[in-house]
C-alpha cells in the first residue's frame, strides 16, 4: 500500500505517485506555492562581546510546485542560514515561512520534505544499507516496504555496490551520495539540498544533476544551494543570489537567458575614454580594459545604460564604431552582483 499524505485543502494524494513518474494529480495552478519566504531575518551573536553577525536580512522569495530554485552565493552569503530557517533548525528573528501550504513548523509539512544538510553526520560504524534502514525506522516506513525503499534509494544515487561497506571507509563523495539517498527515502514532495554537488567529482556532479532533473520531471520541487554557477544554470528554473545575507537578485533563468548586455566600441583608447567622463560602469566590463591603444571597449548592462553610454560618448566627442549585443549569462550576473552589491537585473529583491 502506498503512503498517503494530507495536503491542506487538497484531496489525499499518494506521496509515492509524485516520484514514481506519474502525472501530478492536482493541477499546480490550484496549489499554493511549495515554498514561500517573506522578510526572513536572522542575526547571530558571536564571541565574548556578542558581536552582531548578519545571517540573512529581509529575504523573500517563493518557489512554485515542481520547480527547481537555486540559492546562489559565495561563502558566508547566508545560504545555510536560509535553509536552516526553512527547516526550523535556526530560529529567525523575523519573517514568515510557508512549506507546502503549511507553516514551516507544522509536522505535516515537514513529513513531506527530504533534506540534505551541508555537512551530513553519519555513524561511521554502520554500513550504507544499515544507515538507510535506520532512517526508514525514523520515517516509519512499513517493514515490508523497507527493502524496496532502501534498494531504490541506493540505486538512484549509484551506491548499490558499496551498500555493505562501513561509512567510516566511504569517500566524501560517497557520503554525499548516501546523504542524497537518505533525503529521497521518504519519497518527498519537496527536496531541500544544501550544496548537493559538494565533494563530487565531475562525473558524480553530472549524475546528481541528472537525478535531480529526473525528480523534477516527476513533479518533485527542489530548493538547493550552491556556489557552482554551471550546475545552477543547467538545473534551476529560478535563482536567488545572496550577498552578505541579502537577496540581491531573484529571477527566473528563462528571463536571464533573454537578458542582453551591449559592448560598445569607441574610437580612442580607454584612458582617453575615462578622461572624457564616461560612466565608471562602462569602463569596467568591456573586456579589453588593459589596452592602451586601439578602440576603447565599453560595456552597458541593458538598453537604458546603452542609451546613457551613447549619449555620454556623443557629448565627449568620442565616435562610436560599433554596438554589439552580448548575452548575459548567470555567471556574469553573479560576478557583477558581487562586484557592485546591487540588484543588477530585473531583481525583485
Ligand atoms: N551559528 C552561527 N553563529 C554565528 N554566526 C553564524 C552562525 N551560522 C552562520 N553564521 C554567520 O552567518 C553568515 C552566513 O553564514 P551561512 O553559513 O548561512 O553562509 P553560506 O552561504 O551557507 O556559506 P557557505 O557557502 O560557506 O556554506 C556568516 O557570516 C556566518 O559566519
Ligand atoms: Mg553553507
**C-alpha cell recorded at residue 246:** 541579502
Query: Which ligand 1 atom sits nearest the alpha carbon of residue 83?
Result: 18
Note whether residue 279 is domain-resident: yes
**Ligand 1 contact via 79 beta carbon (within 6 Å):** yes
Q: For position 231, what pLDDT does the model report? A: 84
Ion ligand 2 contact residues with beta carbon within 5 A: 79-80, 118
Beta bridge partners of 191: 114, 222
What are the residues whose beta carbons fall under 8 Å from the beta carbon of 169, sequence distance 6 or more?
A: none
pLDDT one-digit tens code per residue, 100-123? 999 999 988 888 999 999 988 889
- Determine the residue of 76, 199, 241 to mutate for testing ligand 1's pocket, defined as the one with the most ligand atoms within 8 A of the Cβ atom: 76
In which band, very low, low, confident or very high, does the pLDDT at 125 lie, cut at 50, 70 and 90?
Answer: very high
Q: For position 294, what pLDDT does the model report? A: 67
pLDDT of 318 over the 90 cut:
no
Question: What is the spatial distance between Cα 286 and Cα 324, in angstroms, rounded to a whole number?
Answer: 11
Please give the tally of structural domains in the chain: 1
**Ligand 1 contact via 243 beta carbon (within 6 Å):** no
Q: Which range scores top for mean pLDDT: 38-42, 250-254, 276-280, 338-342?
A: 38-42
Query: Which ligand 1 atom sits nearest the alpha carbon of residue 77?
Result: 21
> Can you give the residue range of the structural domain that contains 269?
260-327
Residue 49 Cα to ligand 1 middle (Å): 18
Note whether residue 294 is domain-resident: yes
Range 79-106 burial, b when 16+ CB lie within 10 A, else e: bbbbbbbbbeebebeebebbbbbbebee
**Ligand 1 contact via 117 beta carbon (within 6 Å):** no
Contact 241, 233 (CB under 8 A): no
Q: In this structure, are strands 4-5 and 35-46 parallel, antiparallel, or unpaired? A: unpaired
Q: For position 347, what pLDDT does the model report? A: 37
Note whether residue 309 is domain-resident: yes
Residue 77 Cα to ligand 1 middle (Å): 7
Query: Which ligand 1 atom sits nearest the alpha carbon of residue 90?
Result: 1
Question: What is the spatial distance between Cα 255 and Cα 163, in angstroms, rounded to a whole number?
Answer: 42
The mean pLDDT of 3-29, rounded to a whole number, is: 39
**Ligand 1 contact via 123 beta carbon (within 6 Å):** no
Note whether residue 302 is domain-resident: yes
Residue 329 Cα to ligand 2 middle (Å): 24
Note whether residue 19 is domain-resident: no
Assessment of whether the complete model's pTM goes beyond 0.85: no
pLDDT one-digit tens code per residue, 250-287? 988 876 666 667 888 888 776 776 667 788 888 765 44
The mean pLDDT of 158-163, rounded to a whole number, is: 93
Q: For position 144, what pLDDT does the model report? A: 93
**Ligand 1 contact via 342 beta carbon (within 6 Å):** no
Which protein residue has the closest C-alpha to ligand 1 atom 26? 75
Q: In this structure, are strands 238-243 and 221-226 parallel, antiparallel, or unpaired? A: unpaired
Which protein residue has the closest C-alpha to ligand 1 atom 24? 75
Which protein residue has the closest C-alpha to ligand 1 atom 19? 76
Contact 59, 69 (CB under 8 A): no
Q: Could you tell me what percent of the chain has a pLDDT over 70?
A: 81
Q: DSSP letters along 144-163, please?
A: HHHHHHHHHHHHHTT-GGGT
Note whether residue 25 is domain-resident: no
pLDDT of 179 over the 90 cut:
yes
Which protein residue has the closest C-alpha to ligand 1 atom 10? 55
Query: Strand runs (DSSP E) across 162-245, as ranges?
Result: 190-194, 221-226, 238-243
Note whether residue 344 is domain-resident: no
Contact 129, 122 (CB under 8 A): no
Query: Which ligand 1 atom sits nearest the alpha carbon of residue 227?
Result: 25
**Ligand 1 contact via 14 beta carbon (within 6 Å):** no
Ligand minimally distant from the alpha carbon of residue 227 = 1
Q: Could you tell me what percent of the chain has a pLDDT over 90?
A: 44
**What's the gap between Cα 31 and its chain centre?**
22
**Ligand 1 contact via 80 beta carbon (within 6 Å):** yes
Q: For position 28, what pLDDT does the model report? A: 55
Which protein residue has the closest C-alpha to ligand 1 atom 28? 76
Query: Which ligand 1 atom sits nearest the alpha carbon of residue 56?
Result: 14
Note whether residue 295 is domain-resident: yes
Query: Which ligand 1 atom sits nearest the alpha carbon of residue 78?
Result: 18
Look at 93-97, 130-134, 208-212 and tell me which has the smallest mean pLDDT: 208-212
Amino acid at each position: 500500500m502506498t503512503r498517503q499524505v494530507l495536503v491542506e485543502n487538497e484531496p489525499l494524494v499518494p506521496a509515492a505517485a509524485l516520484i514514481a513518474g506519474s502525472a501530478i494529480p492536482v493541477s499546480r495552478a490550484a496549489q499554493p506555492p511549495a515554498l514561500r519566504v517573506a522578510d526572513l531575518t536572522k542575526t547571530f551573536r558571536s564571541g565574548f562581546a556578542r558581536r552582531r553577525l548578519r545571517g540573512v536580512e529581509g529575504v523573500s522569495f517563493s518557489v512554485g510546485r515542481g520547480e527547481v530554485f537555486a540559492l546562489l552565493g559565495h561563502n558566508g552569503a547566508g545560504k545555510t542560514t536560509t535553509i536552516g530557517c526553512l527547516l526550523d533548525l535556526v530560529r529567525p528573528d523575523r519573517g514568515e515561512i510557508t512549506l507546502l501550504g503549511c507553516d514551516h513548523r507544522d509536522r505535516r509539512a515537514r513529513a513531506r520534505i527530504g533534506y540534505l544538510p551541508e555537512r551530513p553526520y553519519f555513524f561511521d560504524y554502520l554500513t550504507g544499507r544499515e544507515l538507510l534502514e535506520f532512517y526508514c525506522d525514523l520515517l516509519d516506513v512499513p517493514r515490508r516496504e523497507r527493502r524496496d525503499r532502501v534498494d531504490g534509494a541506493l540505486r538512484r544515487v549509484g551506491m548499490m555496490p558499496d551498500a555493505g561497506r562501513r561509512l567510516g571507509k566511504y569517500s566524501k563523495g560517497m557520503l554525499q551520495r548516501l546523504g542524497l539517498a537518505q533525503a529521497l527515502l521518504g519519497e518527498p514532495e519537496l527536496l531541500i539540498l544544501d550544496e548537493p554537488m559538494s565533494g563530487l567529482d565531475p562525473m558524480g556532479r553530472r549524475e546528481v544533476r541528472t537525478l535531480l532533473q529526473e525528480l523534477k520531471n516527476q513533479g518533485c520541487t527542489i530548493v538547493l544551494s550552491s556556489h557552482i554557477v554551471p550546475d545552477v544554470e543547467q538545473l534551476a528554473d529560478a535563482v536567488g543570489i545572496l550577498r552578505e545575507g541579502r537577496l540581491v537578485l531573484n529571477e527566473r533563468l528563462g528571463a536571464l537567458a533573454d537578458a542582453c548586455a551591449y559592448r560598445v566600441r569607441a574610437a580612442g583608447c580607454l584612458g582617453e575614454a575615462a578622461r572624457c567622463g564616461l560612466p565608471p560602469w562602462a569602463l569596467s566590463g568591456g573586456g579589453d580594459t588593459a589596452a592602451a591603444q586601439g578602440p576603447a571597449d565599453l560595456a552597458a548592462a541593458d538598453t537604458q545604460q546603452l542609451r546613457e553610454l551613447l549619449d555620454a560618448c556623443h557629448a565627449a566627442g568620442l565616435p562610436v564604431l560599433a554596438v554589439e549585443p552580448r548575452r548575459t549569462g548567470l555567471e556574469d550576473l553573479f560576478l557583477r552582483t558581487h562586484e557592485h552589491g546591487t540588484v543588477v537585473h530585473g531583481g525583485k529583491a
